[in-house]
Every structure is written in structure tokens, then in C-alpha cells.
Amino acid sequence: MKQKRPQWTPVVTALIRKKGQVLLGQRPPDGSLPGQWEFPGGKIEVGESPRAALKRELLEELDIHANIENLRLANSHSYGERGVLLLFYDVLFWKGEPKSKHHAELKWINPDELKNLEIPDANKKILSDLLEILKTDPPSEEVTK
């Protein structure tokens, strides 16, 4: 008998960075992972490119028009039966002031504060990689673009 394939969900997330800080959003109380602090983003729709998906999510969730820069990190995680593949992109330039249209709250934090916040297990596993990226200035060619 043919085995059922596991379900995978591709997710794009943004490392939105300004003056050494990064923007986090608190997941709403009525969904999955309530109250956890995440990098803004969401699921890629079928047929959509990862960058287009992240641009769309940032407009929907934060009301900003963002430039999606380099892919910095990728990782997978399983929530029970379901797997997520997470792609983390740098976001260094955007138009508009981020507003919480989806999150319970938004906040700019220093990367080290990630250690003390409730973050998704998928991110906890790669916290040291995330900190290394966030504590290093983005490549200068990106800043001058």
C-alpha cells in the first residue's frame, strides 16, 4: 500500500532590521502558538515565489512595502504530523511605518532579548544562528543599494 506523504508547509519570514534591532510580532491569542513572538511572515501560496509571498505578507500584516533582500537561513521543524520549512530573509528597506494589522503587538528588540522571549520552537532550535546573523551588520552592498 502506498504510504501517505507527510504534509509540508513552506513559510517565509522577515528579519526586519533597523539600527541593530529587529522587529518581532506577537501572535494573536486566538490562533496557533498564541502569544509567541515571531518574525513577521507567513505561508507561501501555491505557485507563488518565496519573495513575492513575503512581500505580500508584510503588506498584509504590517502595511509596509518592503524590499526582500538575501535569504539568510533555512530550517525545517515538525509540529506533530505537519512539517514547516522556514525561509528567513533580510529586510533592510521598506516604505511605511509597521502597524500591527495581524499581531497582538509589535516591538523592536535587541537580538539578545530573543533569549528571554517566548518564541516558536522552530526558531529556538536555530537561535544561535539567528543571533549570529542579527548581531552582524548586513553586507555593506545591501546598505548602499
Instruction: Answer yes or no whether residue 10 interacts with ligand DGT by CB under 6 A.
Output: no
Cβ 20 to ligand DGT, closest distance in Å? Answer: 19
Q: How far is CA 28 from CA 16, 37, 106, in A?
A: 19, 10, 11
Binding residues among 102-131 for ligand DGT as defined by CB under 6 A: 120, 122-123
Instruction: Answer yes or no whether residue 98 interacts with ligand DGT by CB under 6 A.
Output: no
Q: How far is CA 110 from CA 7, 17, 26, 32, 143, in A?
A: 35, 10, 16, 25, 19
- Part in contact with ligand DGT (CB under 6 A); list of ranges 27-35, 45-53, 89-97, 125-133: 27-35
CB 36 within 8 A of CB 121: no
- Rule CB under 6 A: choose which of 52, 59, 84, 126 binds ligand DGT: 84
Q: Which is nearer to ligand DGT, 29 or 145 (CB)?
A: 29
DSSP symbols for 45-85:
PTT--HHHHHHHHHHHHH--EE----EEEEEEEEETTEEEE
Site residues, ligand DGT (CB under 6 A): 11, 13, 31-33, 38-39, 41-43, 84, 86, 120, 122-123
